[in-house]
Amino acid sequence: MTFRLPHTLLAAALLLAACSAEPRQSQQSESQENRSETTATTEMNTTAPGNDGAERRAEVPKDATRAELLQQYIEPIVVDRFNPDVTDANRTTTPQRGGVLRLRTPADYSDLNPLTSTGQPERMVQNLLYDSLVSQDPETLEFFPKMAWTFAKADLLKMKDGEVLEGTFLEMGNEDNPASEVVFAPGAWRRTFNKYDVASVGDGTLTLKEQWGGATYKGEVTELVLTYEINEAKDPAREAELIRTTIGDLATWKDVEDNGRERPFRKEECAFEFTIRPDIRWQDGEPFTAEDVKFSYDTMMNVNVNAQHIRNYFQHIEWCRVLEDGMTVAFRNDKPYFNQFAFVAGIYLLPRHIFNPEQYGGDDVAFAAAFNEHPYRERPIGLGPYKLKEWRKNEFLTVVRNDDYWASKLPEGAVPKWHPSQPYMDEVRFTVIQEKAAVLKELQKNNIDADLDVEPDTWYLDETNTDAFKSRFIRAQHYGFLFTYVGFNMDRALFSDPVARRAVSMLIPRDRIANDIHQGLAVPVSGPFYSKGPGYDQTIKPVEYDPEGAKRLLRRNGWLDRDGDGVIEKEIDGVTVPFAFGYSIHNARDYHQKIADIIKESVEQAGISMTIRKSDWTIFSETIRNKDFDAVRFAWGASLDPDPYQIWHSSQADNKGDNFVGYRNKRVDEICIAIRETFDPIKRWDLAREMHAIVAEEQPYAFLFGFNETYFYNRGIRGVKFYPSQYPVDWTEWWWADEARRQESAK
């Protein structure tokens, strides 16, 4: 599997955000939860970190790369690990093409435009319809060229009276010591090529195949699993061209996000170039060009386009240009960001010819208004292995194999992690079934092949644990990259009071919910990061259920029932505010109502009035975006290596950003910014744990659970892997072992 851009608390994703090119994309995010939030036993695909950061640091060598550091949190991925019919002897059977894969989705889709959609269900479909310039192998964490056949990175340097230079730092110097040395190789890039495209590698040289011009590059060559990287700065012939100077001799720039602090102009990994493959076409037959990439970037950065949840990851891109060759697109950052490459590499791509931006005469507002409501939302044209066949609202959505998919036309090995026979299924159909009882009936009647959204009580039903059921369906578990929470709207007077937030959190009977609703299998969490990742502080314990302590806390802080109506109140900013709030949920899962009922019963015993507000998923998600709620039960996708900016920085509290609870904290803002420009992962994870402590104390969320998700799928399906990602499966790898099922689509 290869990943798209992580647009959430990776969405980040992306290993979305911090670990992948989206592919995604962040902490993917993606950002809205609309999937199973269940957990199961200790059988998991991801290892748990130690309880102490120092212990983790001691486990790896000092010079370990980021990927090597993250590898300690990932277990080997085994194909068909849950299928008893698959053994080591037959695990590598050659996949066969054909058949229809019928999947259940608990809610319909609202928008298939990747820039304007925010829901997890939409992203699952979009991963089949779209593609990316660069992807990442989830097993090695290695980035490799995809629709771009090569990519390159460079640093930026500027002297006090000189132009900005692109190249590579050999010595960065110490920002706090003006006399420290800076050594820079101007014009030297770090270039990456797939092994298939390299003709030969010598001592300090790399030569491409004739297909790509046969050029020879000189420098230090590093062989990875799928690619070669050549660092041109390490070419001995460049010694005479090196710039040797000091921090004090560099130009400076003002860091607006850091109170205008003057900083030396030495910007690490801020220039990127991607050269796209020829002969790639959109699903309507039009050629894909570098201009499409620039159009996609320009559209996303239009502040009137509903893409704030993605745009924040690109806010430091200074410009995007198509170079003179017409095949290379270049990006330049105005500020270092450790995960910037992942996002530009996995940028969501749109067909310029469909939207025809020229007709708006440069009017960004008019273009955005049309774009936000364009029919493309329901009839997308992508670049991926599948294309949209039919979408009947609230019934089903079907995608069919794209026989003109560019990667399937290339020889085996030309695209890493891809076989020309992929995707193996002729069609994938997503059927909307909300009721869990109906799902089970459809499985038993052989009308759907897989449910990746199994609720806990269904998992434990006697009839799903019989030999007869297991003879037809695999029961699989995978620890999910998400956590659930109750978010408090801090822009409302009630929840601007930290005591009110803390009290509600103390009144949530987590153990009862875990036992009665999640069958005792949910894992309580205490903070805003993936609970088995390096940024999560294991020493911070979840808030305990303490109703008497909550009542005392409220009384001490002036929350009293002065008028005898049974509801406590308090004067806030000169206004008497009753402790009464709405609790918003969506209807895609039965157990959301059950959890709401439990919380309502508990808080009302403390003199708090709670009204449950239940709505359809589409209405619910828009309500949250518009901040028209008091408290909301929700979830975030998480990432192994977090970038919390999208959800927690105060700038994301406006314009339908993902900080929809309105959390604002100066130190957390500083940490969000510092994490983004810290390339040392150990320091970055230390910052994340500091932030964990602050957020856990202030409780803008009442953090609930992480989950080991549970799945049912037909025993005749092969090629199933579960990946460390918000999108744990890759349906292009699935295939039918049963010949009759492979012939089904021909009927």
- Measured between alpha carbons, how far is 289 from 279 in angstroms, rounded to an integer? 9
3-class SS letters over 98-134: CCEEEEEECCCCCCCCCCCCCEHHHHHHHHHHCCCCE
- In sequence order, the 6+-apart residues with CB closer than 8 A to the CB of 482 are 33, 35, 37, 635, 636, 637, 638, 706, 707, 726
- In sequence order, the 6+-apart residues with CB closer than 8 A to the CB of 302 are 364, 367, 368, 371
Q: Which two tokens stand for residue 317?
A: 């891109």
CATH of residue 514's domain is: 3.10.105.10
pLDDT given for residue 90 in this prediction = 87
Residue 51 pLDDT > 60, yes or no?
A: no
The domain boundary, picked from 271, 288, 316, lies at: 271
470 within some domain: no
pLDDT given for residue 29 in this prediction = 31
Band of residue 257 on the pLDDT scale cut at 50, 70, 90: confident
pLDDT given for residue 279 in this prediction = 92
Residue 50 pLDDT > 50, yes or no?
A: no
Q: What is the mean pLDDT of residues 172-185?
A: 94
635 within some domain: yes
349 within some domain: no
- DSSP calls for 688-701: HHHHHHHHHHH-SE
3-class SS letters over 52-70: CHHHHHHCCCCCCCHHHHH
pLDDT given for residue 76 in this prediction = 79
For the ranges 63-67, 304-308, 366-370, 517-521, the lowest mean pLDDT is seen at: 63-67
- Inter-residue contact 146 to 134 (CB < 8 Å): yes
- The three-state secondary structure class of 582 is strand
The torsion of the CA quartet 506, 510, 512, 518, rounded to 10 degrees, works out to 160
For the ranges 45-54, 435-444, 669-678, the lowest mean pLDDT is seen at: 45-54
Residue 4 pLDDT > 90, yes or no?
A: no
Band of residue 42 on the pLDDT scale cut at 50, 70, 90: very low
The domain boundary, picked from 271, 289, 318, lies at: 271
- Measured between alpha carbons, how far is 703 from 418 in angstroms, rounded to an integer? 39
The domain boundary, picked from 271, 288, 322, lies at: 271
pLDDT given for residue 478 in this prediction = 87
- In sequence order, the 6+-apart residues with CB closer than 8 A to the CB of 164 are 156, 157, 158, 265
Read off the amino acid at residue 506: M
Band of residue 738 on the pLDDT scale cut at 50, 70, 90: confident
Q: What is the mean pLDDT of residues 457-483?
A: 92
- Measured between alpha carbons, how far is 255 from 228 in angstroms, rounded to an integer? 35
CB burial string 617-632: b at 16+ within 10 A, e below: beebbebbbebebbbb
- DSSP calls for 377-428: GTS---SSSEEEEEEETTTEEEEEE-TT-GGGGSPTTSSTT--TT----SEE
* 34-38, 319-323, 534-538, 682-686: range with highest mean pLDDT: 319-323
716 within some domain: no
Structural domain total, the chain: 2
548 within some domain: yes
- Measured between alpha carbons, how far is 451 from 432 in angstroms, rounded to an integer? 11
Mean pLDDT value across the chain: 88
Residue 733 pLDDT > 60, yes or no?
A: yes
Q: What is the mean pLDDT of residues 448-468?
A: 92
pLDDT given for residue 302 in this prediction = 97
Q: How many residues in total does the chain contain?
A: 747
Band of residue 280 on the pLDDT scale cut at 50, 70, 90: very high
Read off the pLDDT of residues 566-594 as tens digits, 9 standing for 90 and up. Answer: 999 999 888 999 999 999 999 877 889 99
- Measured between alpha carbons, how far is 159 from 271 in angstroms, rounded to an integer? 17
What is the domain range of residue 223? 152-271
- What are the respective helix, strand and coil percentages of the chain, to the nearest 5? 30, 25, 45
- Measured between alpha carbons, how far is 494 from 462 in angstroms, rounded to an integer? 45
The torsion of the CA quartet 171, 175, 180, 183, rounded to 10 degrees, works out to 20
DSSP 544: P
163 within some domain: yes
Residue 32 pLDDT > 50, yes or no?
A: no
Band of residue 61 on the pLDDT scale cut at 50, 70, 90: low
Strand-pair partners of 104: 431, 451
Q: What is the mean pLDDT of residues 348-368?
A: 96
Residue 25 pLDDT > 50, yes or no?
A: no
Between 611 and 38, the more confident residue is 611
Residue 182 pLDDT > 80, yes or no?
A: yes
Residue 214 pLDDT > 60, yes or no?
A: yes
Give, for 648, the enclosing helix (H) or strand (E): helix 645-648
| Closest-CA residue to 561 (of 579, 582, 573, 549) | 579
DSSP 317: E
For the chain, give me the number of helices (H) and strands (E)?
Answer: 20, 32
Residue 26 pLDDT > 90, yes or no?
A: no
Residue 436 pLDDT > 90, yes or no?
A: no
pLDDT given for residue 434 in this prediction = 87
73 within some domain: no
pLDDT given for residue 572 in this prediction = 87
- Measured between alpha carbons, how far is 23 from 273 in angstroms, rounded to an integer? 18
Residue 3 pLDDT > 50, yes or no?
A: no
Residue 62 pLDDT > 80, yes or no?
A: no
- Measured between alpha carbons, how far is 13 from 438 in angstroms, rounded to an integer? 31
Q: How many CB atoms lie within 10 A of CB 455?
A: 22
Between 693 and 453, the more confident residue is 693
- The three-state secondary structure class of 537 is coil
Q: Is the dihedral of CA 417, 1, 114, 24 positive or negative?
A: negative
HSE value, Cβ hemisphere, 13 Å, CA-based, for 615: 17
How do strand 100-105 and strand 427-432 relate by DSSP bridges? parallel
Band of residue 56 on the pLDDT scale cut at 50, 70, 90: very low
- Measured between alpha carbons, how far is 42 from 44 in angstroms, rounded to an integer? 6
Band of residue 399 on the pLDDT scale cut at 50, 70, 90: very high
Q: How many CB atoms lie within 10 A of CB 557?
A: 15
User: Which ranges of 305-377 does DSSP label H, i.e. alpha helix?
Assistant: 308-311, 340-345, 352-355, 364-372
Read off the pLDDT of residues 94-116 as tens digits, 9 standing for 90 and up. Answer: 999 999 999 999 888 889 999 99
Residue 123 pLDDT > 90, yes or no?
A: no
560 within some domain: yes
Residue 85 pLDDT > 80, yes or no?
A: yes
Q: What is the mean pLDDT of residues 2-31?
A: 30
Q: What are phi and psi of 170, to 5 degrees?
A: -95, -30
- Measured between alpha carbons, how far is 120 from 124 in angstroms, rounded to an integer? 6
pLDDT given for residue 145 in this prediction = 98
